[in-house]
Amino acid sequence: MKKQNLFFAAIAALVFTSCDKTEIKEVEKIVYADQAGSLSLTFDARYGDSDFELNKKYPYQLVNSEDTYDLEFEFNRLRYWVSNVKLVDKDNKEHALPDSYYLVEETNEIEVEHLINGEKYPAKKREKVTIKDIPSGEYKAIKFSIGVDQKYNDNITLTAGELGSLNGMGVSDGWMWFTSYKFLTLAGTMHWAAGTPTSKALSWETGSNELFDGAEKTIELATPLKIDAQNSAKITLDVDVKELLSATDQPWTNNSISQSKKELMKAFRDAFLSKSLTFKEAGSVSVEAN
């Protein structure tokens, strides 16, 4: 009986000791090289050789068939949708990244006319997009579109990625009473540089399903990027706003570009894709396991 009592006493002591002092051990995280990785995609806005800033006057020399003119442009808004991102691996296989809809923007505060109580869209600057869950591999090119494909453009109540009627150009910068998205918009004021104080508002925008066709941009990389759980990638693109002004040689006359001017919308879109948007640099970064 004494031995049995001693046994139960020992068990009780162990129980009370466990209650008084609980030891927690951290389990080491194991990272496998073939797990998904991430990519940061930066759209670095510039004006020629200068950094792009809102509410700052930039010189622009306009040369057309009539004469040469010195103007100044002062911007208050640059916004566009980046969508349908695809990565091309070293074997030329395309990997479409699901729900890849991102709003890149630099804008002053915007009044939301269609909402009550005087709501305003806050001033924002967003140049960097981070894409996660990219299948591990080596990629030699990236493709994406500027705008929103027909499925979502025809029904802005649908959500995917950052799309939605309460985000970005779906509300504060929408048109036709929210029936579709604007794909690309540039707004501000243009001034004669000298001789007269005359100024005009600038409002250029693109949209419509027909303009989404042909809106894809392919960026070829000099060296393939390795992406996996241990290697994230970075791609930086330049967006030269000065090149966007080449969409027309009559900006004073065509200070407003919208749905009623389809050819100018196309020219504006093409100026963005072929002249303004260019490759800057890319690289892989080793990720330390946490």
Residue 137 lies in a domain: yes
Residue 7 lies in a domain: no
Residue 1 lies in a domain: no
| Residue found under tokens 């540089």 | 193
Average pLDDT, the chain: 85
Question: Which of 123, 112, 122 minimizes the C-alpha distance to 53?
Answer: 123
Range of the domain at 159: 36-286
Residue 20 lies in a domain: no
Residue 92 lies in a domain: yes
Res 2: pLDDT:
45
Res 34: pLDDT:
65
Res 121: pLDDT:
77
d(CA 222, CA 238): 16
- Report the number of distinct structural domains present in the chain: 1
Taken in order 163, 165, 171, 174, the sign of the CA dihedral is positive
Please write the tens of the pLDDT for every residue from 5-21. Answer: 444 444 444 444 444 44
d(CA 239, CA 241): 6
d(CA 158, CA 101): 12
pLDDT band (50, 70, 90) for residue 261 = very high
Please state the rounded mean pLDDT for residues 83-107.
96
Residue 171 lies in a domain: yes
